[in-house]
Amino acid sequence: MIKYWYRRILIMILVFVVFVGGSYILIEEQRISLKQEVSGETYEDTMVIPGGMPVGIYLETDGVMVLGTESITGIDGMKYNPAEHLVKSGDYIVKFNGQEVTEKSQLIDAIRKLKGEDVVLTVKRKEEEIDIRFKCVKCGIDEYKLGIWVRDNTQGLGTITFLNADSTFGALGHGIHDIDTNELLNISDGTLYITSIKDIQKGESGSPGGMEGIIVYNNYNVLGTIRENTDVGIFGTVDRIDALFSDQEPVETAVKEEIEEGPAAIRCAVDGEIKEYEIEITGIDFYPGEINKGLTIEVTDQKLLEETGGIVQGMSGSPILQNGKLVGAVTHVFVNNPTKGYGIFIENMLKEAEN
């Protein structure tokens, strides 16, 4: 009888140990697996392919952008400014007499077909749409004018900053503003194009200089699509990754707290080939007045100084690397000292790319 109960007790203990031990092993394996998954996700999220290559940029505005108004001579010989004080620089004309307008040619065609002076412009001002009624000017038989200067696209050259695992790119580190109104452009679409650097105007005190590129706007040279124009850069998708990022190794990205004053490097292709050039991070502002001026930098690389004089227009977006990590991008140059400029924290660009 004693042996019977002894065996039962041993069996119960053995079952308990196997159950608890097995559960512990299962839980531990799940914990390790989860840790590996989390670590893997974190690793992928903080790894990007750095850029440095110049690209051609073409943007189409979301509507037709108003630059300003002007006086017009009517058929009676009198001067009129019909839209003055009604439309403002930076407004976007989205409808003309109820008809949707997305580009300047549509607006011109609608005006050409007018049969009377009364018009209604629907404009987007900030986030609000406003109907503006006024009389345009009759300048001849069946010829009318609004007296409004407009634009529906812009082109330029900039530098790619990074490509993430979703084929999303970030570039420039600052937004594209209209040259006349200085307003951030609201875009409906945009395209990246292959470009090659033709010439470089060296920067001097009072004149920052610039990169001059050759851009052929055809389908063969399309690299990708621009989706957003924001205060921290332009973002979109690269379709021809091999054309931009061949032989480029991914790097980790740094949060701003990891950045140190001292030696760093920028990547750019001022002579047609991507190279790293020595710079110095001379200032770090965690709470800058402008989001894309968190870093103050100075070019110290003699070769780059000889080629460009420092930072020139077109280098915006050039990746800044320190201790093997991508920490930011070049955004501005000091007009009175082209060897110095500003940069944006890369984490600000990454947050926008995630959105």
Q: Which residues are catalytic?
A: 174, 301, 316
Cα separation of 266 and 255, whole Å?
Answer: 17
DSSP 83: T
Burial of 132 (0-12, 13-18, 19+ CB in 10 A): middle
Identify the CA nearest to 185 among candidates 237, 122, 234.
234
Sign of the alpha-carbon torsion through 289, 295, 296, 299? negative
Identify the CA nearest to 303 among candidates 265, 260, 341.
265
Cα separation of 58 and 153, whole Å?
Answer: 7
Is there a contact between 314 and 157 (Cβ–Cβ < 8 Å)? yes
Which residue bears the tokens 């660009």?
349
Distances (CA, A) of 4 to 9, 13, 15: 9, 14, 17
Identify the CA nearest to 226 among candidates 334, 153, 141.
153
